[in-house]
Each structure stands twice: as C-alpha cells, then as structure tokens.
Amino acid sequence: MRRRLTVQLAAVLMSVLLFSGCAALSGLLPDFACPCRADRFPHQASDLAPDPALVFGTLDNGFSYVLMENRRPEDRVYMHLVTDAGSFHETDDQQGLAHFLEHMLFCGSTHFPPGELIRYFQEIGMRFGNDANARTGFFRTIYDLHLPAGDEQTLREGLVVMTDYAEGALLLPEEIDREREVILAEKRTRDSVAYRTFTATLAFEMEGARIVDRLPIGIEPVIQAADRETLKNFYDAWYRPERLVLVVAGDMDTAAAEALVREAFGAMESRTPAMPVPDYGRVAHQGEKAFYHFEKEAGGTEVTIETMVQAEEPPDSKARVRERFIRDTAFWILDNRLDDLAETASPPFTSASTAAGRAFEQIDYAHVSATCPPETWQTALTAIEQELRRALAYGFTAAEVEQARREMLKALEIEVRQSPTRESGGLAGRIIHSLAAGRVLQSPEQVQDLLAPVAQRFTPAMLHKALKAAWAPNNRLVLVTGNADLTQVGAPPEDHILSIMAQSRTQKVARPDEREIPVFPYLPVPEAQGREVRQVYIDDLDIHQVDFENGVRLNIRKTDFEKDQVMARVGFGDGESSEPVDKPALAEFSAAVINESGFEKMTNDELRRALAGATADFSFAVTQERFELRGGCASDEVELLFQLFYTFFKDFGCGSDARQRSLEQLALHYKQMGHTIDGAMARFGYRFFAGGDSRFGMPPDYESFVAVSVEDMRAWVDDALAGSPPEISVVGDLDVDQVVAVAARYFGAMVFEADSSGPEGRQGMPLFPVGESLTLQVPTAIEKARVQVAWPTDDCWNIYANRRLSVLADILTDRMRTTIREETGQSYSQYAYHEAYCAYPGYGALHAVVNVAPGEAETVVDQVRAIAADILENGVSEDEVTRAVDPTLTHIREMVKQNRYWMGSVLVGSREHPERLAWARTLTDDYASIAPEEVTALARQYLLDDRGAAVVIIPESF
C-alpha cells in the first residue's frame, strides 16, 4: 500500500550512495540518463574516503581498474569494461559509429571468429543478453560480462574477452554489412512516442549542447555508409588505455584478480595519437520559456516546470554529500505532497514527481512534473506551479520534517544492516555510476556516520533553504508534451502555456497545515490465540510447516541470503480463475482500486505518515490461482507486517474515490495502448491464444472497467476473505518461533467458512485456437510490427515436460537469433518462451516472438514455422542442449540462494500442491540430466505446424 513512498525513499538514498541526477530532465528515457564523467578516481581529490573494500589501480599505460570482492551471489563475478567513448565523441559524419562499433565487437575479434563469441558465452554457462551485453550512451560505451565463477581460469577467460573488446576488433567487411541491417532493425524497434518526445524535448532543454545532434542510435546515412575504415578510425581514436576502466565485483580473490588484470592490459598501447575531446557547447537558458510537443498517439499529457544551469562540478566532498542529502530530503517531502494531491477525491493530475540533481555531465537541474489527461493540462500545470510556490514560500511543517527524519535515519540504518548480503551486480553498477558522476562511493557504514547526524539536525529552515537553493537559477522552463492539442487555442501554444502560468501566479497560496501523525495499528490485538494442530520440519529443505486448528497453514523458511530482510505472502481464494464471465475487468481493476484505497479507516497518505521510519510494506495482487497479500519488512518488523495483513482482512479499503482515480489512470493507459503493437497484443493477442477467455491479457476496451462497481469488487474479495483459510508463507532472516507466535496471534484464531463457492458465472477452461491466425492493425505512425507464433502444450503440473520445454524455448530463441537476426538482419529483438498455467488444467503454450518491419511480418511467420519444422524433422543436437542447459544451471545455482525463489516457486501453493517441495529437490539434477532425444520428443509432440497459431500486428497503413 506504501509502494510509491518506498520508491521515493530508495531514490533519495541512492542519490546519496551514488550521485544526484540520473534521470532525463523531464522523466524521459533512462537509456540517455546518467552520462559518465572522464574523472577516474574521485576520492583522490576529495576529503571523502572510499569504501575500504574497493581496490583501485592505474597501469603505466593509463588503463584503470576498480575491484571489489563480494560473496553474494556465490560463484558469480560481474565484469564491466567502461569506455570513455560515446556518441558525444562522434564527428558529423560519424553519427552512430560508437553504437555500430559496440555491435561489431560481438562479430569477430582476435580470439573469437564471427559467430563464436556468443557460443563461447553459452558454453561457459552464460546467456547472451542477460549475462553478456553492451550499451552505448552519449559519453560512454559499457561492455558487461556476468561470469559463472570467480576462479583464476574463468577470470582469465573473461579478461580475454575484455581485451578483445579493447583492442581486438576484426571489423570484417562482410560482418559490417550484415550487422548494419540489425542496427537499422534496432533503430526501428526504438522508435516510439516516448522516443520522439525525448528527442524533441532534448533539443529544447539542451539547446546549444553537442549531444542534441548526437543521439546514440545514429542517423541512417552514416549507418548505411559505415565501412571498416570509418569504424576502425573511431575505434583507434577513442578505445585507448587511458580512456578505459575495468570494473570487477564478485566472488573472487582481489589480489589474484588484480594480477590477472595487470597481465591482460599492461601491454596495451594506443594505436593513434589522442583526439581532443569535443567542445560540450553552451546551454544558457534565461527567464521563462515554454516548450510544446504534440504526439497524437500518446496516452496522456505531461506538464513540467524545471530549471537548468550548465556548471562545472566541483570535486566531491563531505560538504557536497551533506548538501545533496538535505536537498534530496526536501524534494522527497515535496514528492509526498504531490502524492497526497494525487490521492484526493478530485486530483488535479494522475501522478506527479519532483527531483533535483545533475545530468548530461554538466547540467544542474530541478524539476516538478505531472501526468494528466489532455483536457486537464491547465489544471495540472496550475497545481504543480502552486504547490512548488507554496513550498518555496513557506517551506515545510514540523510534522513533515519529523517524518523525513525518521524515514532517512531508518533508511541509513537498513542499508548498514543489509550490507553483508549486498549483491555483486548492484555493487558493480554503483561503482560504474560513481565514477560516471565523479562521486566517491562509500560503504553504508561510512554514509551513515556522515549523514545520520545531519538527519538528526533536520529543521524546517534547513530543508526550506535547500529547496530554495535548488530553484534559485534565473530560468524557468515550462513544458507541455503528449496528446494535448494546443493548436486551436488562437495563440501560439508556447504563448498559451506561459499565459496559464501567469494566471496561476495571480492566485495566492496558503501556508501548509500542520497535521498530526496518525497511529497504526488502530485495531486491537486479537485476544484469542490460535492453536497449533500440526508442526512439521522438512529437514532437507529446511522448511517448517504449521497448521492451526482453524485451517490456516503457515510455511516458514529461515535463510541468510538477504540480511535483515523478510518477505511474506498471504494467499486466499481462487484469484483470477474465479473471475465471472460478465466482469472481464474485475481482476485487473480490483487490484488497482484496492491498492489505491488504503484501509477503510486509514488512507494511504495516513498510513504513510503513521509508518514513517518503518520498512514494512505490502500490496494486494490477483494471480491466476489466488488472491495474495505480498509484503516485506526488516527482521525486527515482522509483527508490524502481520498487523498490516490482519488489518487488510478486517478492514480493507475499496473506495469510490480510488475507483475514479484508477479509472483516470486506466483511461490514459488505454489511449496509449490503442496506438502500439504491444498494446494490441495485451488487449487482443493473449486472449486470442486462450480462445477468447477474458482472464487472459487486458480487457479489449476501457468500458469494461467502467462497468465494474465498487460493490462488485468488494463482494468478490469479501467472499474470498471469508472462505477457505489462507496459506501464509514467510521467508528470510527471521526467528521461526517469533513468526509462529505472530501468525498464531493474528491469524490462528480467525473464523473461516469451510469452503466458498465464490460468485456465480465463472468461466470454463481456456482453449487454444489450433491452426488459426489473427491479424491486427493498429492506428499508428510508428512503422514496426510484431509477430507471435505459438503452439499448445500442457499445464504446469508435469514438471519433467515443462523443464524440457523451457530448454526447447531456449533452443528456438537461439535458432531465431542466428537466422532472423544474424543471417537476414530482419529483427533486432526475438525470443521464445514456454508458459504453462497451473490454474487451468491442460493449458499451456510455447511462444515465439519477433519484432520486425511491417512489410516483413508474414515472411517472418513463415521463417519461424520453418525453424520449428526443422526441429521436428532433424531434432535438436547435443551441443544445442548443452548451450541451453549450462546457462540455466548457472542461473539455478544463483536462484536457489534467493528468497524470492523459495517463496514463489516452493512455498506458495504447497499446501494444495505438496509436489512443489519435490520439484525443489530435483531442480538441479533434472535439468543437468536433460538429453537431446527428450527435447526432440517433446518438440515432435507439440511443435506441429497444423497445431500452431499466429498473431501478426501491423500499422494500419500496411
């Protein structure tokens, strides 16, 4: 119920631990945010000491590295080569070469001939895309390897790949010609309303800066003309030792790893003289300026007020960290105010946010933005202008500051308590971003020592001063983007926007009211204590099962995977499978409205303020098989989490105001979906593959939600709450006896009906449309299409078949990659997956998905079918099975040491289906035993051409 608060708080703390900014200036595409700086080790010019676990080094040739030993997850090492070369460094006739070069480094290098690198990744237990990938931004290109082990041999092999990236590109002409088609397909895939809005907004916000004309994807004339000479010139000019940093974090010996890094990169030399770094340009906004960008196909409208200043970044320091912490806390309070407005009976916008920081290397910014329907953009703009002006004029209340103090102190404490089980992948990302932003990466203990005293001294005046400083620059940029059509207002749209701002300023704003902090829990603790009738300890799985006299089942697994973290789920009823035929939006809408409602006697806003300083959080979900309360907390808050669950059972909220707010949000979402191929798939495609069953995908039309009343939702959930006793599962760093006692107190004595038949009118079983096809046309100017071919399989309960079908899906993915992407260049994105359903006996499907150009959709359907036919005729090879299974085994070794695996795959549902426990016992050995003939047999059983079905989604113009 408090999820937005959790996200906000995480963002504030992350800005402290890493850096400020890290968002495109108007909430735009994150791919283009967080550009890196050229600084190597920021602590060298700072009074801040870095995390003592970090090992820094620079070789004689200028090559640098940062290493960090970390044991979570075991036997995994995250290796990244960060290159100070991106689209910013391109000349006019090189636009797109940085990204093109990134592609080419996977297409042949000194030690890996064309086609061999991805095979190599698979052979050592890595998945291309998940464990090996790369990305190009304005200022950096980053290459990622997630190694399956940290021994000397694996590290050495990973460094061979990295040295090939740094200096071993072959850049073969035939590979360049082939890959350019893939890049053009990627360019097509990236095209969207959001991307078009981003590029237009960037040109306004960053006018005068070089990056405006340097989008990483590049321009088609350069991509078409790129050859070996042009790519090699860029490669040699910018892939130089002094512009490279290797970041390695994971389960390894750092001393041994350091020696290997020095050995691998010590002899690297620059291949050409250094190029001067291009001039950044000058961004110099003055006064108030408006920007308008119309996108007919957008789902809604975004209004933004922001300020931007180009400035040199001083070295990081204790003072700077404190300043950012105070500033970000002030913005956090303002964020909470905007959330409160969004939860009112007649909200001025559907959502809003505010932030401050640094972006694009040299830009300090602050912004407040809101999303709304197009017809209410003036109301939304007025609301954020006045709320910002209120905060700037009057600051914050004592209660708001006290809430912030409690939240920040708790967040700092939790970071320290959870630090022993931080994951290496996240740590590697923090290292990269800290270098990018010129920030000193400190340990959670160091951050707490520095900032906890600051939080203790928070005052309204301190936070008010920080907010005013962030908004002090003498410019205001006012942006309206999306589907609000301002061309008919009788004045230039920009003038009209500024007139709305001027009108808003004529209205006085009042000082914010002081509000008391509500008290939770507000229900009395149950007097009766539940009686245990059965307690079983399953030794080999380390699982405790407790049954109470009233039928409630409690599953517990104590773990040390995530320090000071507990997750829990309460499952009840039949969930989406019990959705009535005449209410096809009931499941989707109930989850949205109930989560928006809070409790009957306490709103989300009141709950947020009551739980300030606590981490306990939960949400309501409707799955195919059950309703679920999903929550998490720190280890010392288990009782608080159960109090939240208990309050839901006794007093869950489902209000008309929440329904109306949810309808407004869904209206925006449906406008967007009406113009996208993914939206068409969600509304029509998934339902087609289920024979029209309304429990699959999203309802086709918005009116389905309008037809669902609060009474419908409340009756549906009330029936489930009163019905069969729930199953409660708890996993994490916990005390077993305490969990049993708390469950007994809050759930063990509840009264439930022996069974509940639920509402009348439930649907039957989904039916796969054997041999059928569906073509959908979408009204959009975005020229891309989606092909989805599927074959019927079976439900989830034959685990032997399902595991082998997942391997078959991986093999199908790999064959589509080599055929549709690498051989023909028709697609940038293609994958296959197997989905077996537990709620619907006999129903499952294996899907193949390809994003293509509209004119090639039908051809690609035939290609996918031809790939499947070849598997039918010739089977799969032992090599293919090995390259599919080994990465899966790597993933399993990591997965079984995560709380979410034990929760979602083992404990939840194990009361009704104890076979889930047996699945956990056989998981590794069964996958390791999968043989080619087993996969081939299942392929020949299911991948029959006359049994398949296809969905093709194209723009209306094709």
Interacting residues of 506 by C-beta distance below 8 A, sequence separation 6+: none
| Rounded percentage of the chain residues whose pLDDT exceeds 90 | 91
Q: What is the pLDDT of residue 762?
A: 61
pTM over 0.85: yes
Question: Is the residue at 87 inside a domain?
Answer: yes
Pair (741, 826) in one structural domain: no
Give the pairing of strands 617-622 and 785-792: unpaired
Above 60 in pLDDT, residue 56?
yes
- For 608, the 3-state DSSP assignment is helix
Question: Is the residue at 816 inside a domain?
Answer: yes
- Omega before residue 521 within 30° of 0, cis: yes
Average pLDDT over every residue of 855-872: 96
Rounded Cα distance between 684 and 701, Å, is 10
Dihedral (Cα; 640, 641, 644, 645), 10-degree rounding: -140
- The CATH number of the domain holding residue 821 is 3.30.830.10
Above 80 in pLDDT, residue 460?
yes
Above 50 in pLDDT, residue 713?
yes
Average pLDDT over every residue of 178-191: 94
Average pLDDT over every residue of 56-60: 97
Rounded Cα distance between 832 and 806, Å, is 9
Backbone φ, ψ for residue 608 (5° rounding): -60, -45
Rounded Cα distance between 587 and 590, Å, is 5
Pair (792, 649) in one structural domain: no
Above 60 in pLDDT, residue 4?
no
Pair (827, 695) in one structural domain: no
Q: What 8-state DSSP symbol labels residue 818? A: I
Average pLDDT over every residue of 796-810: 97
Helix intervals (H) in 798-931? 799-816, 857-874, 878-895, 899-901, 915-928
What are 397's two structure tokens?
């209340």
Q: What is the pLDDT of residue 695?
A: 96
Pair (896, 863) in one structural domain: yes
Above 70 in pLDDT, residue 190?
yes
Of 290, 266, 909, 342, the residue nearest 626 (C-alpha): 909
Q: What is the pLDDT of residue 73?
A: 94
State how many domains the chain has: 4
Is residue 5 very low, low, confident or very high in pLDDT (cuts 50, 70, 90)?
Answer: very low
DSSP sequence for 754-806: S-----S-B-------TT-EEEEEE--S---EEEEEEEE---TT-HHHHHHHH
Q: What is the pLDDT of residue 452?
A: 98
Is residue 358 very low, low, confident or very high in pLDDT (cuts 50, 70, 90)?
Answer: very high
Pair (494, 622) in one structural domain: no
Picking from 711, 746, 781, the residue at the C-terminal end of a domain is: 746
What are 213's two structure tokens?
């004309």
Average pLDDT over every residue of 709-733: 96
Pair (709, 786) in one structural domain: no
What are 647's two structure tokens?
């309050």
Question: Is the residue at 49 inside a domain?
Answer: no
Give the tens place of pLDDT for each residue, 407-428. 999 999 999 999 999 999 999 9
Pair (602, 726) in one structural domain: yes
Pair (259, 327) in one structural domain: no
HEC string for 67-79: EEECCCCCCCEEE
Give the tens place of pLDDT for each residue, 127-159. 887 778 999 999 999 999 999 999 999 999 999
Rounded Cα distance between 780 and 674, Å, is 9
Residue 146 to residues 149, 168, 428, 895, 931, Cα–Cα distance (Å): 9, 20, 11, 14, 26
Average pLDDT over every residue of 35-61: 86
Give the tens place of pLDDT for each residue, 94-105. 999 999 999 999
The more confidently predicted of residues 10 and 712 is 712
Average pLDDT of the residues of the chain? 93
Question: Is the residue at 691 inside a domain?
Answer: yes
Q: What is the pLDDT of residue 95?
A: 98
Interacting residues of 129 by C-beta distance below 8 A, sequence separation 6+: none
Pair (253, 320) in one structural domain: no
- Omega before residue 221 within 30° of 0, cis: no
Interacting residues of 144 by C-beta distance below 8 A, sequence separation 6+: 78, 79, 80, 131, 132, 133, 134, 135
Above 60 in pLDDT, residue 757?
no
Average pLDDT over every residue of 250-263: 98
User: Residue 303 is part of which domain span?
Assistant: 287-418+438-505
Backbone φ, ψ for residue 382 (5° rounding): -60, -40
Other CB atoms within 10 Å distance of the CB of residue 524: 6
Residue labelled with tokens 């939206």? 679
Helix intervals (H) in 362-423? 377-394, 398-418
Q: 3-state SS of the chain: helix, strand, coil percent to 5?
A: 45, 20, 35
> In angstroms, how far is CA 905 from the centroid of its own chain?
21
What are 187's two structure tokens?
């360019």
∠ CA(34), CA(40), CA(44), 5° rounding?
120
Pair (301, 246) in one structural domain: no
Q: Which of 190-194, 319-323, 425-429, 752-756 has the lowest mean pLDDT?
A: 752-756
Q: Per residue in 96-135, is it b (16+ CB within 10 Å) or e — as a string?
A: bbbbbbbbbbbbbbeebebeebbebbbebbbbbeebbebe
Question: Is the residue at 551 inside a domain?
Answer: yes
Contact criterion met (CB below 8 Å) for 483 and 199: no
Picking from 731, 746, 761, the residue at the C-terminal end of a domain is: 746
Average pLDDT over every residue of 295-305: 96
Which residues face 310 on adjacent strands? 363
Is residue 792 very low, low, confident or very high in pLDDT (cuts 50, 70, 90)?
Answer: very high
Rounded Cα distance between 549 and 528, Å, is 12
Pair (112, 169) in one structural domain: yes
Contact criterion met (CB below 8 Å) for 320 and 525: no
Average pLDDT over every residue of 400-413: 96
Of 540, 594, 805, 796, the residue nearest 713 (C-alpha): 594
Of 428, 416, 412, 413, the residue nearest 72 (C-alpha): 428
Above 80 in pLDDT, residue 14?
no
Give the tens place of pLDDT for each residue, 506-535. 999 999 998 888 999 999 999 999 999 999
> In angstroms, how far is CA 114 from the centroid of its own chain?
32
Question: Is the residue at 405 inside a domain?
Answer: yes
Of 86, 96, 92, the residue nearest 184 (C-alpha): 96
Q: What is the pLDDT of residue 131?
A: 72
Question: Is the residue at 24 inside a domain?
Answer: no
Q: What 8-state DSSP symbol labels residue 323? A: H
What are 651's two structure tokens?
């007093």
Rounded Cα distance between 764 and 766, Å, is 7
Half-sphere exposure of 850 (CA within 13 A, CB side): 34
Above 70 in pLDDT, residue 549?
yes
Q: What is the pLDDT of residue 759?
A: 44
Q: What is the pLDDT of residue 6?
A: 46
Average pLDDT over every residue of 601-629: 96
Residue 129 to residues 126, 133, 432, 933, Cα–Cα distance (Å): 9, 5, 19, 27
Above 60 in pLDDT, residue 755?
no
Rounded Cα distance between 219 and 226, Å, is 11
Picking from 746, 781, 799, the residue at the C-terminal end of a domain is: 746
Pair (249, 299) in one structural domain: no
Question: Is the residue at 762 inside a domain?
Answer: no
Average pLDDT over every residue of 594-614: 95
